[in-house]
Amino acid sequence: MAPKLYAIVVGAGPGTGRASAVRFSKSYPVVVIARNSSSYEAAVKDVTESGGRAIGISADASDPASLDQAFEYISQELPDHKLAAAIYNVSGGYAVKSFVEIKPEELEESLDGNVRGFFHFAQRTLPLLEDAVPHSEHPPTLVVTGATASVRGSAKFATFALGKWAKRGIAQSLAREYGPKGVHVAHAVIDGVIDIPRTSTLYVNGGVSDGKISAISIAETYWSLHTQHRSGFTWEVDIRPYVEKW
């Protein structure tokens, strides 16, 4: 009997994480992880209402012990399941400020969300993804959410940029190491404001319709990355509204 498969989304708050959970739940049960249950509860609800199965777990990806507990729990809840897709969508807070005003703890906060969290999450998920290669219809996939700041260090965005650049560097290294094993690692440069409640009052792109990125459209692109044949992997996509200046 073919093993069952599942997907995992860390950073499952409103926006990309939640939409990805819903999209991937059409094919897999989905584990949604966030530091606080309030962040993933809506994702669990959305998945459930659309007929899928979601398991919410409170965990901090930058804390190895916390991540260990999460995977322990997953193995109990989803015995005999293999990991078909993992999405790292932790944003890592940022503040726009002059470089000399950045506090060491803000530097560490960016490193937690973008570097340590991704590092530990990738160390735990990649062996699981590799293990699923012979069993998964689609190549097991690790998708990493990046930002404009992954490829551009703007003035007064140093903390944001350092985390995003580092995360992209790790992801590219992983794509090269794990591609030949059949695991697809892909990075997405999200270049625009995502259309979520928190951004509803932001006035961008002249306020035109679809001037903010639909999280559902990101999730569709993530799914299309996951379903690429292994003879034609994409390492990186950029995603932006049709009206975005770039």
> Please, what is the end-to-end C-alpha distance for the chain in angstroms?
49
Nearest distance from residue 197's CB to a second copy, in Å?
Answer: 16
Q: How far apart are CA 186 and CA 70, in angstroms?
A: 23
Considering only the stretches 20-28, 71-79, 80-88, 238-246, report the one whose residues sit in contact with a second copy under the rule CB under 8 A.
238-246
Q: Does 196 bind a second copy (CB under 8 A)?
A: no
Residue 153, both tokens: 């260090």
* Site for a second copy contains 122 (CB under 8 A): yes
164 touches a second copy (CB under 8 A): yes
Nearest to 88, CA basis, from 127, 126, 144: 144
Which of these ranges, 3-11, 30-38, 70-78, 230-238, lies near a second copy under the rule CB under 8 A? 230-238
Contact call for residue 42 and a second copy (CB under 8 A):
no
Q: What is the DSSP letter of 29?
A: -
- Residue 216, classified by CB atoms within 10 Å of its CB into exposed (0-12), middle (13-18) or buried (19+), is middle
* Chain residues 58-77 in contact with a second copy, contact rule CB under 8 A: 64
The region of 2-10, 49-57, 83-91, 217-225 touching a second copy under the rule CB under 8 A is 217-225
Q: Which of 1, 80, 98, 105 binds a second copy (CB under 8 A)?
A: 98
Q: 95: helix, coil or strand?
A: coil
Q: Which stretch binds a second copy (CB under 8 A): 7-15, 34-42, 81-89, 153-161?
A: 153-161
Q: Please, which residues bridge with residue 146 across strands?
A: 189
